[in-house]
A and B are shown apart, each in its own frame.
Chain A
Amino acid sequence: MAAIARDFKTLRLDQVSRRFGSVNALEDVTLEVERGEFIALLGPSGCGKSTALNCLAGLLQLTDGSIWLDATRIDGLKPEARGFGMVFQNYALFPHMSVRKNIAFGLRMQGRDRASIARKVEEGLALVHLETQGDKLPGQLSGGQQQRVAIARAIVIEPPLVLMDEPLSNLDAKLRLEMRGEIRRIHDSVGSTTIYVTHDQDEALSLADRVVVMRAGRVRQVGSPGELYARPAHADVAEFMGFRNLLAVPVARAGGGEAEITLGGARLKGTPVEALLDGTATVAIRPDDLVPGPDGPIRATAATVEYRGRDFFGTARMADGTELYFRSAARVEPGEALRLGADAARVLIYSGAKP
């Protein structure tokens, strides 16, 4: 079996494509991952992120393109020859083996001697805090414990790359937050390279060093969580990053790194993200950034208001019926007339009408 070096420098996907019949699940995906990075593949369901992961693991063949680990081309290798640790969405623990045997499986396949397997398994159990559960069968564990066994099993073989396919989606909210921290802690303490698939933007932003946003089989943007949060490169990425106010608007004035658009009869200053080609644009504002104030330019009437602890979030209608999502620190009653405004830096303007 061809052993792959754990201390690789770069993993490179070069114009990777995967078709199912006439459907392009993955199209021209090019990406470079440095050793030690934590990368999140983020996108709505059906965007191709899991397909990308399966292609990396070798569980799916590519229809086009290549995958490289430094100078070694690996897309023709079988999964067992790649030796990437994978954590499955349903955990895929072997139900007939104890926790210890599950974790030992990959080490046994590597043909290590008993003593070193036993030592590594104990290290793995300690890493995921399951020292006392080693002799149980997976069916006797809770969901969170099973999840940790799955992670330990993938990591003890010291894979060059750890692949995780929505590993937290089957857990409840509290456990999900807890395990999120655990996953990052394990990544840092083992020094592995992790590629993590998720549809949850919070998860991606809080875990990853870099986030790859995908849509319809294509990579839309690659960036640090901060970059993505503050300045999505496209309107569809903005939509996915929580810019719920996404409206097609006429451009009133553009130039010099600033632009003005017309929204509900009012003029609003914003930041153009792309070169504005013609008279129409798409404006993107987070509900968080659209707040009522004494000199807000947009006149609207509050429609629904929801209390969410610190602040109130609600919808408001402009005179033409368009709905806006806003935040307010003070209580707002439905039917109340509001003057909404946003900081020009937080109003992003994209070229062309909304996709």
Chain B
Amino acid sequence: MPSDPPGESPELPDELARLPHGRHGLPPEFVERNQRQRLLASLVRALADSGYNAATITGIAEGAGVTTRTFYKYFDSVEACYLSAFDTGAELLGERLVEAWATEEDWPARVRSALAAALDFFAGAPELASLLLTEPFVAGPDVAARYRAELARLVPYLREGRVLSPEGPSFPETTERGLIGSLASRIGRKVTAGEAAELPSLLADLTQFTLTPYLGVQAAKKAAAKRSR
């Protein structure tokens, strides 16, 4: 997704002035700056307040302090606006994951580190967590397909672990997709239950679950408990 050039000023500075500031937990990509980002931020709030089904163009525009006409300048539907927010959020998360992955050298430690980063990310921005993890299913198959494609991008990282198991080469093709889908579902359920803040406490269990097929129960448990550097 092309990012907005810095300094691209909204045409309606008086509306910008009325913008609510510093929404808790939302990364800067979702905070004001320009009309487009304000619309995305407004969408995220609307989803958090009443879910995808209740989101309307009028509501999103109002929340961003712009007219529906302005909305249509950037997006032609709620779904388009949603997808843009989804992509922005997924990109942010992806950056954090890659960063966390690179801080470690051993594969098990890398998995743990990336999982820790994901859990912290979602715990710090529950609204974004539900946008990324639960709303895609509400929004329908087209959006779910995008979610599925994002998860698939993580597969190669996990697949690296196959070399650590003698049976690795014969694991079913679907193994990594199943593991990643499972992690996302479990995290999503916590978020839906309003327990996003507790996500970091799942780190050891989720790491162990992910590593076990590759390392076996005991070694996975050890690797999951290891503190990162």
The yes or no verdict on A and B being binding partners is no
Spell out B's residues near A (CB within 8 Å): none
